[in-house]
Amino acid sequence: MKQMKRIFPLLLLCLLLTGCRERPVQKEIFAMDTVMSFTVYGKHAVDGLNAAILQINQVERLLDPELKGSTIWQFNHAEGKPVEISPFISNMLLTAGDVSAKSGGALALSVYPAVKAWGFIDGNYTVPDAATLESLRPFVDDSAVSCWEGEGAQWAQMPAGMELSFGAAAKGAAAQEVIDTLRDVGVKSAILSLGGNVQTLGLKPDGTPWNIAVQDPNAPAGSLGILSVGETAVVTSGSYQRYFEQDGRMYHHILDPQTLSPADSGLVSVTIVCRDGALADCLSTALFVLGEDGAIDYWRTYGGLELMENTASAPYLGGGFEMILVTTDGRAVISSGLQGYFTPGETDYTYQYIQYTD
């Protein structure tokens, strides 16, 4: 007997908004297959909130691979021909492609047909047989996707038979677009929760950092610890977010592009702290697939934050990234750039910081 368990992503990262003097304008919606909440401050809050919701709805229509006529649907049915894309989609392709190349293919947007085969799209959960997965393998290759600019437009092309989904980048990219729109409208302080993706604009209205509780993956109502940050994205991917059980075994939705099966990496969750929402989203998936050692190697090569104090207690997050890995053996592995900005919770985990050198 199969059993599906799903935790609404809104609970993945609890937002601690105490200490704000301005009354916020808030809205909660369901979009992109998750619960989203928006908290916006200041005199432009209402205009900003309306623009944010409009933008999310537009992004959802662009990126739904099952919606006939959407940009990604057209791309998936182009039979190898070039397709004109928006700068927004071009940025996601370039960001995901960069992470895929640097991680040795641990991130693959082209794993989408395998995700469908496991039933994570339509809810008809099943364990595909080896022959089914093997038939899909030739089409899982993000390096075969190309994008370029020409004739005043952005274009993309991929081999016939390949299908993409932006599930590993869409919410992060959407959050980044919303933050940029809010800033353009004149908003200076806001916090968004798009499922497991949290993104902030500026500091809280009183000038203090945002306190973001990272969910304990083994206790949905509990907290692994508190991150105190300025303007940044905090994105978590985990095996506990979406899964089903069959014959006493759990199968989660984060697939390893090498095996086309749920990644068996020794990790339960990965939290990325990074200025760019799309990059944070892509990294959370790629590093989950890589596992602890691979994630640490990746961080030592490409990570680290350019920290400049924008208050006495909150970092302005520039280039690079920092991370928190939760392992199956009960450890929370934290990159050194978060030291002083992460407060461990009262849990049974063993907390350890890693440095750039052993």
Integer Cα distance of 157 and 79 in angstroms: 9
Confirm whether 162 is domain-assigned: no
Confirm whether 299 is domain-assigned: yes
9 lies in the same domain as 35: yes
140 lies in the same domain as 177: no
Under the banding of pLDDT at 50, 70 and 90, the label for residue 306 is low
Per-residue pLDDT at 222: 85
> What radius of gyration do the chain's Cα atoms show?
20
52 lies in the same domain as 97: no
Domain count, the chain: 2
Average pLDDT over residues 129-150: 95
CB 323 within 8 A of CB 273: yes
* For residue 322, pLDDT beyond 80: yes
203 lies in the same domain as 289: yes
DSSP H or E run through 131: helix 130-136
42 lies in the same domain as 72: no
Average pLDDT over residues 240-265: 93
Per-residue pLDDT at 22: 66
321 lies in the same domain as 184: yes
Instruction: Give the model confidence (pLDDT) of 21-51 as tens digits.
Output: 568 999 999 999 899 999 999 999 999 999 9
205 lies in the same domain as 337: yes
User: With pLDDT > 70 as the criterion, what percentage of the chain qualifies?
Assistant: 89
- Indicate the residue among 157, 186, 212 that finishes a domain: 157
Q: Residue 114's closest CA among 282, 245, 260, 244?
A: 260
* For residue 4, pLDDT beyond 60: no
CB 187 within 8 A of CB 2: no
Confirm whether 166 is domain-assigned: no
- Indicate the residue among 100, 126, 157 that finishes a domain: 157
Per-residue pLDDT at 316: 44
Q: Residue 103's closest CA among 143, 158, 72?
A: 143
Per-residue pLDDT at 319: 57
Instruction: Give the model confidence (pLDDT) of 255-290 as tens digits.
Output: 999 999 999 999 999 999 999 999 999 999 999 999
Other CB atoms closer than 10 Å to residue 66's CB: what's the count?
12
231 lies in the same domain as 303: yes
Mean pLDDT (the chain, rounded): 89
* Residue-number span of the structural domain to which 13 is assigned: 3-60+172-354
User: With pLDDT > 90 as the criterion, what percentage of the chain qualifies?
Assistant: 80
127 lies in the same domain as 222: no
* For residue 19, pLDDT beyond 70: no
97 lies in the same domain as 241: no
Instruction: Give the model confidence (pLDDT) of 47-67 as tens digits.
Output: 999 999 999 999 998 999 999
Confirm whether 281 is domain-assigned: yes
Average pLDDT over residues 111-137: 95
191 lies in the same domain as 309: yes
Q: Enter the tokens of residue 169.
A: 């980048």
CB 187 within 8 A of CB 40: yes
- Indicate the residue among 127, 157, 187 that finishes a domain: 157
Per-residue pLDDT at 143: 95
Average pLDDT over residues 331-350: 94
Confirm whether 165 is domain-assigned: no
Confirm whether 164 is domain-assigned: no
Q: Give me the CATH number covering residue 318.
A: 3.10.520.10
Per-residue pLDDT at 107: 97
Per-residue pLDDT at 1: 39
131 lies in the same domain as 72: yes
Q: Give me the CATH number covering residue 147.
A: 1.10.3980.10
Give the three-state DSSP class for 329.
coil
* For residue 16, pLDDT beyond 60: no
* For residue 166, pLDDT beyond 80: yes
* For residue 328, pLDDT beyond 50: yes
Instruction: Give the model confidence (pLDDT) of 185-233 as tens digits.
Output: 999 999 999 987 999 999 999 999 999 999 899 887 789 999 999 999 9
Could you tell me where the DSSP H helices lie in 38-129?
45-63, 71-76, 87-102, 112-117
Per-residue pLDDT at 240: 83
Confirm whether 266 is domain-assigned: yes
